[in-house]
């Protein structure tokens, strides 16, 4: 059995137009990797929205980062300050991985 | 450092044809927001399925809600009763967020 | 109130070309079901990548399995050994479900 290591999963759900801005911030703050998925529809404070192939920037994306707790917490703070005035969800949760050095 | 608050992540993975029914239930039960993502393929009790652009209702979607524990639990119960006879996955897990009042 | 049962969520994020290989392994190891979602872009050790409709095998997918802890752990080990030389993320986390017997 390989050993498992506790890390943090940071998920940032944000409108498509802001994805590059968030990724730039993650890069500057030292994130070693991320995975982006598209959300297709949703509802929040600003009402209901639906992804649209003509204007994908109006859709939402989920940016996933797995990192050590202190790094994930720092990234989350930086993204929170960056997105203060925008509709975004920033979620932190526990996760276990095999390769300690990869995160 | 901003304070983090413990909430529950509720994920409902359900066939596309039932998404609107579940969203109506979430609205009636007081969910303040949700995010929907499409799943592209899977396998369950009913065998293997694959998303199909001609008949998207046959695909599956993941509906994500983040809420206070008691609200998330109530929403989960309501969806469970609603989907009793359908293939669906209802998952509850822990998550932390910055904005207590938003959830 | 229905009872909730603790299970493990296993997520495998892997390049599209390896999805069938991973699913074959999950089948042989006794996974009862899975859900696959496409990731649209990301960055890791091998640099930045973007999903491309011409060559979807170059994109990434997330394979989600929810199972009892011992099964999820065994599946994770098997996938880890299978994907040793490939860029992949294998994530284990806690989740609660209603139907004990389904997982």
Average pLDDT value for residue range B54-65: 77
Chain A contact for C60 (CB, 8 A cutoff): yes
Decide which of 1.10.3720.10, 3.40.50.300, 3.40.50.2300, 3.30.70.120 is the CATH code for A5-98.
3.30.70.120
Domain boundaries, chain B: 5-98
pLDDT for C11: 97
pLDDT for B52: 62
Are A37 and C39 within 8 A, CB to CB? yes
Across chain C, the runs of DSSP E, i.e. the strands, are: 5-15, 34-39, 41-44, 47-50, 60-67, 88-97
- What is the Cα–Cα distance from A80 to B98, expressed in whole angstroms? 8
- Going by pLDDT thresholds of 50, 70 and 90, the confidence category of residue B57 is low
pLDDT for A1: 82
User: What is the tens place of the pLDDT at every residue in C21-76?
Assistant: 999 999 998 888 899 998 878 888 777 887 765 555 567 899 999 999 999 999 99
Are C89 and A4 inside 8 Å of each other by CB?
A: no
pLDDT for B23: 93
User: What is the tens place of the pLDDT at every residue in A3-26?
Assistant: 999 999 999 999 888 999 999 999
- What is the Cα–Cα distance from C51 to B67, expressed in whole angstroms? 32
Higher-pLDDT residue of A47 and B34 is B34
- Chain B: closest CA distance from residue C94 (Å): 7
pLDDT for C30: 85
pLDDT for C41: 83
Angle at C38 between CA C37 and CA C42, to 5 degrees: 130
Nearest to B2 among A42, A62, A80 (CB): A80
User: What is the tens place of the pLDDT at every residue in A81-95?
Assistant: 999 877 789 999 999
Q: Which chains touch C (3 or more CB pairs under 8 A)?
A: A, B
What is the separation of C-alpha C7 from the centre of its chain, rounded to a whole number of angstroms? 15
pLDDT for A60: 87
The answer on pLDDT for B56 being more than 60 is no
Are C13 and C21 within 8 A, CB to CB? no
What's the mean pLDDT when you consider all of chain A? 88
Nearest residue of A to residue B7 by CA position?
A91
Chain C contact for A58 (CB, 8 A cutoff): no
CA-closest candidate to residue A13, choices A46, A36, A33: A36
* CB-CB neighbors (< 8 A) of A4 in chain C: 92
Higher-pLDDT residue of B95 and C85 is B95
The answer on pLDDT for B55 being more than 70 is no
Complex ipTM: 0.90
pLDDT for A90: 96
Are A25 and A79 within 8 A, CB to CB? yes
pLDDT for C97: 96
Burial of A65 (0-12, 13-18, 19+ CB in 10 A): buried
pLDDT for A86: 79
For C87, phi and psi rounded to 5 degrees? -70, 115
pLDDT for C52: 63
């Amino acid at each position: 059995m390989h050993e498992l290591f506790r890390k943090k999963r940071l998920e940032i759900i944000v409108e498509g137009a802001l994805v590059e801005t968030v990724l730039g911030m993650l890069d500057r703050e030292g994130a070693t990797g991320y995975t982006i998925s598209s959300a297709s529809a949703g509802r929040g404070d600003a009402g209901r929205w639906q992804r649209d192939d003509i204007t994908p920037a109006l859709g939402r994306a989920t940016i996933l980062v797995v990192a050590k707790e202190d790094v994930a917490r720092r990234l989350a703070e930086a993204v929170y300050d960056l997105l203060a005035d925008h509709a975004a969800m920033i979620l932190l949760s526990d996760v276990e991985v095999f390769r300690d050095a990869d995160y």
